[in-house]
Amino acid sequence: MAYHPSGLLAPIVTPFAADGSVDVRALERLGGELLDAGATGLIALSTTGEPTSLDTAERDEVVAACARVAADRGKALVVGAGTNDTRTTIARHEALAGVPGCVASLAVVPYYVRPSEAAIVAHFQAVAERSPVPLILYNIPYRTGRGLGAGALLELAATPGVCGLKQAVGALDADTLAVLAAKPEDFAVLGGDDAFVFPTMLMGGAGAVAAAAHLHTGRFVAMLDDGAAGRVAEGRSHAEALLPLVQALFAEPNPAVVKAVLHAEGRLPTPDVRMPLAAASEAAVQAARLAFSAAAQGG
């Protein structure tokens, strides 16, 4: 059966133990909490999971742990498998055939090398042809240095083996609206900027990939449900309450503040991120914890 991304796909952080190793038990516990609170699936090795700072064995550990948790609850597992060269991206996708329960990849626009838009389209078409699972494209130009406009995205939306898009362009812009208006029915647009996921849903989005939803997960899920159902007043109430939390969690490079708040709430063993990221500042953590408490009001 083809996979149709929808709802909240949680881009789970990678917890680190005090000795710096990946804490698999904490990862499984956190993944279970996110799914039990209403997330439709987990994304292992998303940007939020710090995949570029994990070695191959650690990447495999993270994917295996997320696969176990998702399988236990009958939820989706998506694995971040894109990188900045096509051969490695294809190899990582082909390896997903051996991951139990993996229903799709998250495949980022190749970064740093700054290929042309036509070359990026060709890259994704080559990957989709070889991948055992469908691709969710990840369009995030502020990280990659290259982005895809509406024309390229719609071309890829019609490509066999491409099932969706995580759109993270810092706005609900004209290109995003054009894709939402003209996409095939079975192509899912997922909000990738946490501040804009509710209006994206109202304009035809299928769901979201939201790092901030590690906190108040149920309220994010309710907001997405309201957006899908066209319940503007109800969803707007959630969106307005969650916006200060989103802004606070992204005040410093992700996922430092998210991890710090999860640790302060007793849900992670440490707040640690790996270099070159730096730990969240005390001021950022205090602001995020205040926003977290405020967002509980009326929730």
pLDDT tens digit sequence for 220-262: 999 999 999 999 999 999 999 999 999 999 999 999 999 999 9
CB 107 within 8 A of CB 136: yes
Indicate which residue of 138, 142, 183, 259 is catalytic: 138
Which stretches within 74-116 are classed as H helix? 86-95
Please say if 138 is a catalytic residue: yes
Q: How far apart are alpha carbons 213 and 219 in whole angstroms?
A: 8
pLDDT at 297: 79
Q: Which segments in the chain show pLDDT lower than 50?
A: none
Please say if 3 is a catalytic residue: no
CB 268 within 8 A of CB 15: yes
Tell me the two tokens of residue 81: 């498998």
pTM metric for this prediction = 0.97
Torsion (CA) 166, 171, 176, 177 in degrees, nearest 10: 140
Indicate which residue of 75, 166, 183, 259 is catalytic: 166
